[in-house]
Amino acid sequence: MNQEQQDRVNSQKTARQVFAIISYLQFSIHLIAYFASFMKLIIIEGGGYYNFRILVFIGISIISILLFLASILLIKRSIRLSIKRLVWAYFFHAIVLAWSLFIVKVSYFM
């Protein structure tokens, strides 16, 4: 293998390592936002059965669980992703980050 190919392999390996770190960071942020939403809507506000806050939390939970599952699959398969697919994965992380900020805003400021 010549030097150019070796540099390309090292570059791809570094890109996947950076992606893994960002994936874990994004997953942690989403988990913290989900937990904060739970604390505010269920524990602090303490609504009863059929309270509007409970319905909001159920809606947040359905979407968040799907995003958690997609994030876990993306983290597990990040080793085999091509560079082009990594770009789409970063776009997915941006969407999940926006969702995390949205659920905090809905939980605390609405």
When pLDDT is averaged across residues 69-87 and rounded to a whole number, the result is 87
Tell me, what DSSP letter sits at residue 77? T
Give the tokens for residue 19.
Answer: 């992606």
- Fill in the amino acid letter for 62: I
Task: Assess whether pLDDT exceeds 70 at residue 1.
Answer: no
Average pLDDT value over all residues in the chain: 88
DSSP of 14-70: HHHHHHHHHHHHHHHHHHHHHHHHHIIIIIIS---TT-HHHHHHHHHHHHHHHHHHH
Could you tell me if 67 and 31 are in contact, meaning their C-beta atoms sit under 8 angstroms apart? Answer: no
Give the tokens for residue 39.
Answer: 């604390």
When pLDDT is averaged across residues 83-108 and rounded to a whole number, the result is 92
- Fill in the amino acid letter for 31: L
Task: Assess whether pLDDT exceeds 80 at residue 100.
Answer: yes
Could you tell me if 80 and 86 are in contact, meaning their C-beta atoms sit under 8 angstroms apart? Answer: no
- Residue pLDDT, tens place only, 5-51: 888 888 888 888 899 999 999 999 999 999 999 998 888 877 666 67
